Chain A
Amino acid sequence: MQFELTEEQKMMQKMVREFAAKEVAPGSAARDEEEKFDRSLYDALGELGVTGICFPEQYGGAGADTLSYILAIEELSRVDSGLGIALSASVSLGGWPIYAYGSEEQKKKYLAPLAEGRTLGAFGLTEPNAGTDAAAQQTVAVLQGDHYVLNGSKIFITNGGEAETYVILAMTDKAKGARGISAFILEKGMPGFTFGKKEHKLGIRSSQTMELVFQDVAVPAANLLGKEGDGFKIAMTTLDGGRIGVAAQALGIAQAALDHAAKYAKERVQFGKPIAANQAVAFTLADMATQIDAARLLTYRAAYCKDKGLPYSKEAAMAKLYASDAAMAIAVDAVQVYGGYGYSREYPVERLMRDAKITQIYEGTNQVQRMVISAAILR
C-alpha cells in the first residue's frame, strides 16, 4: 500500500494551494456576500490547466490522474467551495460524460474547450418533480428529421446560465422508463434554450445555480450523447465521478474549518490561557482531525480506483457520504470553538458551516449514497 502522494501530485497540490491562497481567498467572503460567481477566477484556472488535469492531451487536457484533479478541488474548496464545485460540475459532470460517451467529433468540439477552460460545463438531470427519482423525467426530446426537439425544464443546475456547454437528460421514449432517457449536448444560446430564476442559496453562494428552460429547442441529432436510451446509464456513471468531486469539496471545507478552529483555539485567551489548553476544546480538534483523515483516505481511494479502472461507484458513494457528514459536523464544531465570534459573519467559519450542508444533499442525498452502498454489498 502507498499512502503518500507522488512527487507530481504534491507539486500540483502546492501549485493550486498557492493560487488559491493568493488569488481566490481574498475575495471569497465578498463573493459569498454578493452571491457572485467570478468567471475570471475560473478563466484563470483554465489558463493554469487546472480545468484539464485529468483529460488526455489530445482533448486539451494535461493527461494527469483523477487524484491530482481531486486535490485541486480540495485546495480550492478550502478557500472557496463555490469555485471548487464550479470546477467539479464543469469537469466531472459536464466534461466527463462527453469524454466517456462522446463521439470523436463531440470530444473535439465540446470537450477540448472545456478541458482548456475556455468554456464552462454543466449537467442537467434534476427537475422539479424528478430529483432522486430520475426516471420521472418530464423533459422530452422528440426526433424530427436531423434534430431533436426538446421541451421541459431543469432546476438547481450548478453553473447554470454561466456555462456554455450542457449535458442534458431528456425522455426520448417514456414507455421505457429509465431506459427511455437519452443524453444531449446543448449549447448556451440555442434558440428556445433560456434560463429561469437564479437560486438564492444557504451556502456555496459564490457558485451560480439556475433553472434551465427548454422551449422547442432544436438540438442536432449529432449532439445525442451515446445512443438513445443510454441517458440513465450516462447520468448514473457521471454522478459516480461527480461524487468524488463533492467529497473533495467537503474535505476542503472540513480542512479549512479545522485550520481556522485550531488557530483560533491557540490565540483566544480565556481565564489566562489559550482555550486550546482545555481538553474540551483540544479533544474536539482531535476528533475533527481524525474524521478529516478518514474522509481523505476514502476520497483519495475512490479517485485511485477510478484511475486504476477498478469499480468505484460504491467507493465514491462512501467517500461522499462520509466526507460530507464529516464536513458538516466539523464546521458546526468549528463555529462552537469560535463561540460568539463563530456566529458572526466577520469570521469565516459560519460560511463554512453554510457551505458544508449542500455536500450532504447534492449529487445524490446521503440517503441515496446509502442506497448505492447497500445495493452494492447486498448484490
Chain B
Amino acid sequence: MEIVVCVKQVPDTTEVKIDPVTNTLIRQGVPSIVNPFDKNAVEAALVLKEKHGGKVTVLSMGPPQAKDALKECLAMGADAAILVSDRAFGGADTLATSYTLAAAIRKLGAVDLILCGKQAIDGDTAQVGPEIAEHLGIAQVTYVAKIDIDGAAARLEREHEDGYEVIEAGLPVLVTVVKSANEPRYPTVKGTMRANRAEIPVWTVADLDTDPARLGLKGSPTQVRKIFTPKQRTQGVLIAKDTAREAVAELIAKLSAAKIV
C-alpha cells in the first residue's frame, strides 16, 4: 500500500505572543514544529503500513528548513521524505499550494491513500487537503477519526458536528485526519539516527510538471490586504474575597443586578 502524507512545518502558535506595547506578533523564540494534526496523519499512515505493508512517504512544501519537519516524520517511522521547495512557490495561498503538492504527488506515481491533517494551526484553513484531491481528481473524506482499509476500499469514520458518519470510499482517496484519531508516537532513538542520516530529495520547479502561472504568489487568487491584532474585549469587574462563599455571593449579586440570572 502506497501512502503519502502531506505535512507542514508551522510555528507553534500556542507559543506565539503579542507584544503589548507595539501590538505586533513576537515570533522570536517560537519553535517550528510539525503541524500537530499532520502528526496524527503520519501516525495513521504508520499504523496502516504496519497492518497492510507498503510504504509511507511524507511530503512537504516549504523553505529548506522544513526538512527538519520531514526528519521528525522519518524518525517516527516514515520510509521516505520529499521536500518541495523553490522561491517560485513562495507566497502561495491554498490553491497554489495544493496545485504544487498535487504535481509532486503525480510525480511519485501510483498512490493508494493520501493523508493530511485536518488543518494547519498557523492558517487553520483546512483547504489544502480537499484541493489536492480536486487537482488529482480523486475522492476526499475530511475530519476522519478512524480509518480501516479492506482491499481496495476504505471505511472511514468522519467527525461531524453532532457525531460521526461512517463512509466507504474506494482507493485512491484523500483523507484528512483529526486529533482524536490517534496518539502520535514519539520518534525512537534509532529512528532519529536513521532520519538524521537519510537523504531528503528537494524537488524544485524544474522537477515538476506545472504551469508557472499557477504557482506561488502569482497563482494565488487570494491576497492578504491587511494584518492586525484582534480587538480585545475590555476587562470587566474582578471579584476577590476572603472566602469562596463571599465571592459567589458578590458574583450573584452583580449578575442579578445586570439581570443576567
Contact = CB atoms under 8 A, between A and B. Distances in A.
A42 B187 CA distance: 16
B107 interface: no
A48 B193 CA distance: 12
B188 A49 contact: yes
B65 to A, nearest CB: 12
Nearest to B192: A11
Interface centre among A18, A62, A68 (most CB of B within 10 A): A62
A6 B190 CA distance: 16
Given A8-B196, A11-B196, A49 B189 contact: yes
Contacts of A11: 71-72, 75, 187, 192, 195-196
B186 interface: yes
A18 B71 CA distance: 15
Contact of A47 (B72, B75, B188): B188
Contacts of A49: 188-191
Contacts of B71: 11
A79 to B, nearest CB: 15
B196 A62 contact: no
Contact of B192 (A12, A52, A63): A12
A131 B21 CA distance: 59
Nearest to A50: B189
A63 B196 CA distance: 14
A15 interface: yes
A46 B138 CA distance: 42
Contacts of B188: 47-49
Given A11-B71, A11-B75, A15-B75, A48 B186 contact: yes
B42 to A, nearest CB: 15
Which size class do B's interface residues fall under? 10 to 19
Nearest to B191: A49
Interface string A3-29: 000011001100100110000000000
A8 B75 CA distance: 11
A64 B188 CA distance: 13
Contact of B189 (A7, A15, A18): A15
Interface centre among A11, A52, A62, A64 (most CB of B within 10 A): A11
A64 B191 CA distance: 12
Which size class do A's interface residues fall under? 10 to 19
B193 A8 contact: yes
A55 to B, nearest CB: 11
Contacts of A62: 189-190, 193
B68 to A, nearest CB: 9
A53 interface: yes
B70 to A, nearest CB: 12
Interface string B195-238: 11000000000000000000000000000000000000000000
A53 B186 contact: no
Contacts of B195: 11
B56 to A, nearest CB: 19
Contacts of A68: 189
A15 B196 contact: no
Nearest to A57: B190
Given A7-B196, A8-B196, A15 B187 contact: yes
Interface string A33-75: 0000000000000011110110000000011100010000000
A3 B191 CA distance: 25
A74 to B, nearest CB: 15
Contacts of A7: 196
Nearest to A18: B186
Nearest to A54: B189
A68 B193 CA distance: 11
A61 B115 CA distance: 33
B52 to A, nearest CB: 23
A48 B189 CA distance: 6
Interface string A89-113: 0000000000000000000000000
Given A7-B196, A8-B196, A15 B190 contact: no
Interface in B157-202: 186-193, 195-196
A12 to B, nearest CB: 6
Nearest to B196: A8
B192 to A, nearest CB: 5
Contacts of B196: 7-8, 11
Contact of B186 (A19, A63, A64): A19
A117 to B, nearest CB: 10
B23 to A, nearest CB: 19
Contacts of A50: 189
Contacts of A48: 186-189
Contacts of B190: 49, 62
A48 B192 CA distance: 10
Contacts of B72: 11
A53 B188 CA distance: 10
Interface in B101-145: none
B73 to A, nearest CB: 12
B106 to A, nearest CB: 31
A89 B64 CA distance: 41
A18 B188 CA distance: 12
Nearest to A12: B192
A48 B72 CA distance: 14
10 contacts: A11-B192, A12-B189, A15-B75, A15-B187, A15-B192, A19-B186, A48-B186, A49-B189, A50-B189, A64-B193
Query: What are the 7 tightest A-B residue pairs by CB atom distance, in nearest-first order?
Result: A49-B189, A8-B196, A62-B189, A49-B188, A11-B192, A15-B187, A48-B188
Given A11-B72, A19-B186, A62-B193, 11 more contacts: A7-B196, A11-B75, A12-B189, A15-B186, A15-B189, A15-B192, A47-B188, A48-B187, A49-B190, A49-B191, A64-B189
